[in-house]
């Protein structure tokens, strides 16, 4: 039985407590949060759990084997580092840290101490995303042409990060998991509509090796009247529409594409024609992503294995976020993803 402490009982914390409570190999022994009101809620809903305003209490608690951190991004590094220093395994909310240098130091610390460091890239454990990866890696989709995602809603403004770090992080983690190729450069544009606040709308373009005819794009927005969670993946053989808000048929695979007309006879004739076939929506398991993820974390602790969403995955995502934020401050100037930094991928 692995003892879990959850630090941060805001929006996501209750889900973490519930899932680690229900996982067969763990029990939640403590919850830490700065807000007495939130701790009161936690006590009411989960009567058996110790609560505290001081996260150091959980670090000192010998019954805590692992710490799950669900606090604002700016505190991820400090809290994770402290937990690792106390010999606790760490599952930290996405993004793993506020900078590549912080992420690198966490990776090193965990490696040195032989502790599990995992980042909560939840979508990697989502049945729809897993099906998409299966379709892509099996060759079903053919050569990849584009990854296009719209992730917008009337959302909470984060106080410490811009909308890329809050929402685009999901797409970057999905792309990191689904695509073999990694972006070599990014360009981003955005605006802050609250004076002095972080950017609340952003467009991020990702460039790949020119030999790959692949482009990535993400639109994120905290100030949209409607909620949209829609991703298109175009391939040479098939195309995918992944709509996370669909109750069923979240993933649709279209047997559509283009065919070449080798000898057009005149200017009206097209070089390229349509190809339209059936559409197919694979049945997806109804497992909760967070439950799968919790069990994966517990299993890595028990077996000493490396999580799918390890520190290196967290770092790759932070690299892109960092580069995108830099680009956004320069009205979309292209920022290359540095070779030496991208070498970190192989940590």
Segment holding 6, helix H or strand E: strand 2-7
Please say which residue, 275 or 305, places its beta carbon nearer to a copy of itself: 275
Q: Cα–Cα distance between 100 and 81 in angstroms, integer?
A: 14
Q: Which residues pair with 187 in a beta bridge?
A: 205
CB nearer to a copy of itself: pick between 139 and 280: 280
Helices 311-329, 169-178: crossing angle, 10 deg rounding = 130
Minimum CB separation of residue 255 from a copy of itself in Å reads 7
Residue 248 vs 303, nearer CB to a copy of itself: 248
In the complex with a copy of itself, the residue whose CB is nearer, 62 or 260, is: 260
- What's the closest the beta carbon of residue 17 comes to a copy of itself, in angstroms? 11
* Sheet strands side by side (includes 201-207): 251-260, 239-243, 223-235, 144-154, 215-221, 201-207, 185-191, 335-336
Least distance (Å) from a copy of itself to the CB of residue 20?
Answer: 11
| Least distance between a copy of itself and beta carbon 109 (Å) | 25
Residue nearer to a copy of itself on the CB measure, 108 or 288: 288
Q: For the purposes of burial, counting CB atoms within 10 Å of the CB of 156, is it exposed (0-12), middle (13-18) or buried (19 or more)?
A: exposed
User: Which CB, 81 or 185, lies closer to a copy of itself?
Assistant: 185
Is the CB of 111 or the CB of 193 nearer to a copy of itself? 193
- Decide if 30 contacts 54 (C-beta within 8 A): no
276 prior amide bond cis, ω within 30 = no
In angstroms, give the least distance from the CB of 311 to a copy of itself: 25
Q: Could you tell me the smallest distance in angstroms from the CB atom of residue 194 to a copy of itself? A: 6
Nearer CB in complex with a copy of itself: 118/167: 167
CB 312 to a copy of itself: min, Å:
27
Question: Cβ 21 to a copy of itself, closest distance in Å?
Answer: 7
CA–CA distance, 33 with 201 (Å, rounded to integer): 30
Distance, CA of 124 to CA of 242 (rounded, Å) = 14
Biggest alpha carbon–alpha carbon distance for the chain: 79
Please give the DSSP secondary-structure letter assigned to residue 108: H
> Which strands form 117-120's sheet, in the order they lie side by side?
50-52, 26-32, 2-7, 66-69, 89-93, 117-120
Indicate the SS3 state at residue 120: strand
């Amino acid at each position: 039985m692995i003892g879990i402490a959850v630090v941060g009982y805001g929006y996501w914390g209750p889900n973490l407590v519930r899932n680690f409570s229900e996982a067969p190999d763990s029990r939640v022994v403590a919850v830490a949060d700065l807000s007495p009101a939130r701790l009161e809620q936690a006590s009411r809903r989960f009567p058996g759990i110790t609560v505290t305003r001081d996260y150091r209490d959980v670090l000192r608690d010998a019954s805590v084997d692992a710490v799950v951190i669900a606090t604002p991004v700016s505190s991820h590094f400090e809290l994770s580092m402290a937990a690792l220093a106390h010999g606790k395994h760490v599952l930290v909310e996405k993004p793993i840290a506020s900078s590549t240098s912080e992420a690198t130091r966490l990776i090193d610390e965990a490696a040195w101490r032989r502790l599990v460091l995992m980042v909560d890239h939840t979508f990697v454990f989502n049945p729809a995303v897993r099906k998409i990866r299966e379709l892509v890696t099996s060759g079903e989709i053919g050569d990849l042409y584009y990854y296009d995602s719209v992730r917008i809603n009337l959302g909470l403004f984060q106080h410490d990060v811009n909308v890329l770090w809050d929402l685009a992080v999901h797409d970057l983690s999905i792309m990191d998991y689904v695509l073999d190729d990694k972006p070599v450069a990014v360009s981003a544009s955005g605006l802050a509509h609250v004076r002095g606040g972080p950017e609340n709308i952003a467009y991020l373009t990702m460039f790949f090796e020119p030999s790959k005819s692949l482009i990535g794009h993400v639109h994120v927005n905290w100030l949209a009247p409607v909620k949209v969670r829609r991703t298109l993946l175009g391939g040479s053989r098939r195309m995918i529409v992944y709509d996370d808000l669909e109750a069923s048929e979240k993933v649709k695979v279209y047997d559509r594409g283009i065919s070449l007309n080798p000898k057009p006879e005149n200017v009206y004739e097209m070089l390229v024609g349509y190809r339209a076939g059936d559409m197919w929506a694979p049945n997806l398991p109804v497992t909760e992503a967070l439950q799968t993820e919790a069990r994966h974390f517990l299993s890595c602790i028990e077996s000493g294995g490396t999580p799918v969403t390890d520190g290196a995955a967290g770092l790759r995502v932070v690299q892109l976020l960092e580069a995108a934020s830099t680009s956004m401050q320069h009205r979309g100037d292209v920022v290359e993803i540095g070779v030496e930094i991208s070498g970190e991928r192989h940590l």
